Each structure stands twice: as C-alpha cells, then as structure tokens.
Structure 1
C-alpha cells in the first residue's frame, strides 16, 4: 500500500519533531503493510515557508537512516501546499509536487473553500499541474453539500481523504462525509495524514472497513493503483464509478455500483 499524505520529515512543519520519531512511525507503517509513502510537509507562506534545499537535506538524511536501519519502505518527497495567490510561483520555484510528477497536494480553508479558490487553482491547471485536494471530507462546504466534491472533480481536481476520517477521528459529521464521498466514487487517494503525534494504526483499520463495506478492489485503486500512477506521472481517471441498469425477467430495473479502472 502507498500512503500519499503524511508529515514525517522532521522539524519542518507541525509533524514529526525528530528523526527518531519519524523512524518509529515508519517502522509501524511497514508493519501495517505500507510499502511506499509520500512525505508531504506543509508549505504555508508566512508559517511553514522554506527553501526546497532545506526539505531535501532532511528528507535525504531520513532516507539514509531508513536504509541504515533496514526499514523496508520507499520514500518520495512531497508537499501540502496552502492554496493562495502565490501558489503557482511557489510550486514552480521550489518544485512542490508529489515526487517527480505533475500532481500537487493542496489544502485550503477548512471552514469553507474561499471565494478565490478557483481563481488560485486555475493557473495550476493551465500550467499542466494536477491538483489533489487534501482531506476533502473535512471542508465545511463539502460536509454541508457532499455533491460539491463531484463539482470539484468535474473541474479536474482530484480528492484525497484521511484514513482516520472513516473511523471518526475528526468527528461524526466528517466520518459521514468521508463515507458518502467514498461510496459515490468521489475519492482518488487514501492518506494517513500522520503528524507523528498519534499511533499510526488507523490506516489498516480503515482499509478493513472499506473492504467490508465496499470491496477490496476499491482499496487497491485508492492505495495502490492510483498512487502508483502518481509515481509514474500518469493520469488518474477522475471518474471511475458508474451506475448501470440491468434487466431481470419479471423484475424492475435494478441499479448497482460498478467500480472500474481506466
């Protein structure tokens, strides 16, 4: 499995505070079945703002320690960029993408997507970037109207949800919203969003629930197939769930969800 959202590069944002802490969490992730992870440090002008070289130095040191300790996980650089008027400039200047791809993990105001949201995101799309909205289920505007998630996808924006949300870590309303998005196919990636300040065993618990309530194929799409497409810089299908009708003799039409890839 591939974790596409976690904050384990030490002393660069509000995530891990030491290499020792990061190594402990990475060992736990391996035990939980995670084989690859994007280390997505916050990039927030005025608060978490730094040169790419600083990030790379700490990322490479952590990677060296992982290899030295024999922790069997592949790490990729990444960032969680707060969307603002300077985002395109910052992304281009510091290469704030997921790995070597054109995918960019973005976040916005959790109280509701601001009026200039699209004004700030369209330049990214026009310049060939593929925005991924982090923890989409936690935005008030999406909680109030989950269909807003589909509208984002129709504008070529991908959606990531947190494993903990499916388990109620952020409250009941967020939990309900996460499952609505998942059931409708309005999710492309699952991430732990680990900040190294809590046990990281929420990921396997969430995986177990998705398998039970939906199917194993959905788990594979969100934790393996789609993340691998980011690694390969390939285009993830925005819509992969369709409603089909089937005819049965002496029965009414029946609708069912079909989850496909490609």
Structure 2
C-alpha cells in the first residue's frame, strides 16, 4: 500500500509510536492551552496535562493562541498576558522545561478592525497575526483584513483553511488567498477524519498542492491530545508535509538574526 493510499486506509496500532513524532515541528503555533481564558484548558492542572502531552510528542516550544472573538471570548492583550503569566509561574515553580510564548487567534468579526487600527495585537514572533473565520459562513471582509494587516507591516496567517466547508468546492479561493500574501496553517488533526471526511480531503488536496506554510495542533483538551497521538502514530507527518514550505521550526530565526547583527 502506497504512502498516499495509507492516508485513506490501513492502520497502525503501536500505542508508543507517537513518541517524539512531532519533534520536526519545533514550535506549535496554534493551541488553546492557556488556563481559563477561552474554550480551551479550564485550569492550570489541565494545561500541564496538555503540555506534558505535547512534550511526549516531541514539541517543547509553544505559542498559545486564545480566541479573540467579540461577545464570546472578549480577550485583550492584558487578559492573555495574565493567563500566560499564571501558567509560566507554575512551570517555573515546578522546574518544567517547556518554552511558552503567547499570541492570539483573531476572529474576523466586527471588532477586528479596531484591534488592527489601534495596533494593540498579540502577534506570533512580533510579526505574524493568526486569523480565523466562522465555520458557518464566509467572511466577506477576509481580503480587506489581509490587506489591513499587511499595511501595518505584519504577516497574516489563516488558521485551518481546510475546515471552512463553504470553500471545499472552490480550490481557486485558496490560490487567491495565497496570492494576496496570506499564509495558510494546517490543523494536524485534519489529515485524519477527526473533523470529517470532507475536511480531510480538502487538507490532503492543499498538502498535495504545497499550499501550507505552518502547522498547528489547535489543541483545546485531552480529547484532541489523544486523537493527535493516534494520528501521528499512524501517519508520518513530516514526510506528508515535505512538499510544503513549513516554517514552524524557523519561527524565531529572524529575531535572533536581528539581535546578533
């Protein structure tokens, strides 16, 4: 059975096969492991469980990205920083070796323009802005938001494009988003049937076309963690993404170069 054929069938049941299988990623740039701040981890204890899970997978560096969503998750740079501080204090107190940065996942809604124009943003590596759309309906403001982010000198990343069902029969839209200068981030669980067969098919289509720039776990809870272990035990994700310009491991290289110049 060929590599691509295995993505649609076959099985691999070695429960230990997930160990360090995501070490190649370097930085997980999309997760919800900060405690008590959105629909992710509800507590420091749960956050530690998720961090230990990431470490078992080989990921020792994280940029946590809580939702910023008007009327649902009304997070600000201050609330995000406070949750990050609470978790990092626990990591330090328990001598846990895990690098934890913070950013945010911004919903394209009525509030996002205010955040961009005020330039009060939680960015990834002081450069990248992670954005998302509703799963229910396409945001007509997507391309104007991309342009506004770029006008501020930042680089937009569209989270999990494969999960927007209204794009599934329109591959051209993904090309247009890339041509507009927006990067694309894959949810690693999308290569399984976790979000459904259509999401998986879309993800594999984009992978084959070399469209992805980043990957992320989008981990919210232990169910995601266990599903992710099963996915990486079954699939060689590094080999799968080889034809894509994945930038996770080089995320902070430009900042280091600036400091040493």
> TM-score, normalised on structure 1?
0.79
Q: Give the C-alpha shift of residue 210 in structure 1.
A: 5.6
Match of 1:54 in 2: 79
Instruction: Evaluate the alpha carbon distance shift between residue 218 and residue 101 of structure 1 in structure 2; reply closer, same or farther with a 3 A threshold.
Output: farther
Offset at residue 115 of structure 1 (A): 2.0
Question: How many Å separate the matches in 1 of 2:238 and 2:86?
Answer: 40
Name the SS for the 1:94 alignment partner: coil
- Over 3 Å counting, the alpha-carbon distance change for 1:116 and 1:35 in structure 2 is same
SS of residue matched to 2:103: strand
Instruction: Quote the residue 2:122 is aligned against.
Output: 96
User: In structure 2, how many angstroms separate the alpha carbons of the residues matched to 1:90 and 1:213?
Assistant: 35
Q: When you count strand as a share of all residues, which structure comes out higher?
A: 1
1:137 and 2:151 matched: no
**Structure 1 pair 90/32, CA: closer, same or farther in 2 (3 Å)?**
same
Structure 2 CA distance for partners of 1:2 and 1:218, relative to 1, 3 Å = farther
**Closer, same or farther: CA 217–176 of 1 in aligned 2, 3 Å:** closer
Question: Distance in 2 between the 1:151 and 1:81 partners?
Answer: 21
C-alpha separation between the residues in 1 aligned to 2:143 and 2:182?
10
Q: Report what 2:88 is aligned to.
A: 63
CA RMSD of superposed structures (Å): 2.4
Runs of 4+ in 1 over 6 A off after TM superposition: none
Deviates more, 1:77-86 or 1:165-174: 77-86
- How many residue pairs get matched? 229
2:70 aligns with 45
Question: What residue is the counterpart of 1:14 in the other structure?
Answer: 39
SS of the counterpart of 1:33?
A: coil
**Aligned-pair distance for 1:88?**
4.0
Superposed, which structure 2 residues align to 1:203-222 within 5 Å?
203=228, 205-207=230-232, 211=236, 214=239, 217=242, 222=246
Distance in 1 (alpha carbons) for counterparts of 2:253 and 2:113: 22
Using a 3 Å threshold, how does the CA distance of structure 1 residues 210 and 71 change in structure 2: closer, same or farther?
same
Which of residues 239, 245, 248 is equivalent to 1:227? 248
Task: Please list every run of 5 or more consecutive structure 1 residues that lacks an aligned counterpart in the other structure.
Answer: 235-262
Calculate the TM-score normalised by the size of structure 2. Answer: 0.79
Higher relative contact order (CA 8 A, sep 6+): 2
